[in-house]
């Protein structure tokens, strides 16, 4: 289901200009943790993915029953355990709020299942210090993690504003796609007897 979210929402609506190239370039690693994962399970999955050289690690918990706030708490605990990474949380129940571009961010992270995304801090540091050239994929990773430090009126602000305009225009279609993914998830998980978080 995560692939559908990435391709049919993030890429289809141009919410991240580098998503497709990162995905096709093998720079995104995904692992699944079952049941109600412990902090150790989250951390181990992330560390294994990152040790294999991916730039963005996503750890998905399809059976985890949690609210967005509870996942945020898990994120904080995992972040304290996994060193040298930025961690962002994605949750299937994020509401659509179009008041400002920053208020839209949780909706843009409305993944089919609870997940944590991990991005090496070295990528973030290269952007902050300007000592290295940051590739588009590295900047994408920072932005997705919600940890990019980008000067005002730079690419991050432009993307946030473009996303706000795009989602404002296409909110009905995007929500319909997200609901179709949710329904597909429930049917598919029931067929293979995966217990679901909702």
Residue-wise pLDDT tens digits, 66-115: 999 999 999 999 999 998 898 999 999 988 999 999 899 899 999 999 99
**Mean per-residue pLDDT of the chain:** 84
pLDDT in the model for residue 132: 43
Residue-wise pLDDT tens digits, 21-76: 878 989 899 999 999 999 999 999 999 999 998 888 999 999 999 999 999 999 99
**Res. 148: pLDDT tops 50:** yes
Backbone φ and ψ for 109, nearest 5 degrees, come out as -100, 30
Cα separation, 28 vs 3, in Å, equals: 11
Sign of CA dihedral 25, 33, 185, 76: negative
**Res. 176: pLDDT tops 60:** yes
**Res. 155: pLDDT tops 70:** no
pLDDT in the model for residue 23: 87
Cα separation, 151 vs 138, in Å, equals: 16
Cα separation, 182 vs 1, in Å, equals: 8
pLDDT in the model for residue 116: 97
**Prediction pTM value:** 0.81
Mean pLDDT confidence for 146-159: 58
Tell me which of 34 and 156 has the higher pLDDT.
34
């Amino acid at each position: 289901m995560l692939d559908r979210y990435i391709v049919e929402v993030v890429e289809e609506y141009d919410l991240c200009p580098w998503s497709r190239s990162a995905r096709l370039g093998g720079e995104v690693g995904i692992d699944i943790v079952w049941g109600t994962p412990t902090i150790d399970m989250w951390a181990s999955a992330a560390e294994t993915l990152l040790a294999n050289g991916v730039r963005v690690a996503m750890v998905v918990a399809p059976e985890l029953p949690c609210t967005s706030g509870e996942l945020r708490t898990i994120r904080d605990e995992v972040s304290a355990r996994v060193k040298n990474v930025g961690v962002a949380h994605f949750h299937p129940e994020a509401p659509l709020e179009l008041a400002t571009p920053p208020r839209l961010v949780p909706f843009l992270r409305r993944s089919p299942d609870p997940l944590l995304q991990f991005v090496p801090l070295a990528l973030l540091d290269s952007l902050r210090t300007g000592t290295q050239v940051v590739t588009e994929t590295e900047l994408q990773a920072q932005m997705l993690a919600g940890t990019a430090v980008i000067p005002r009126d730079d690419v991050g602000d432009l993307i946030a504003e473009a996303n706000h305009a795009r989602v404002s225009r296409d909110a009905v279609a995007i929500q319909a796609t997200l609901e179709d993914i949710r329904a597909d998830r429930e049917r598919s998980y029931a067929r293979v007897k995966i217990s679901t978080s909702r």
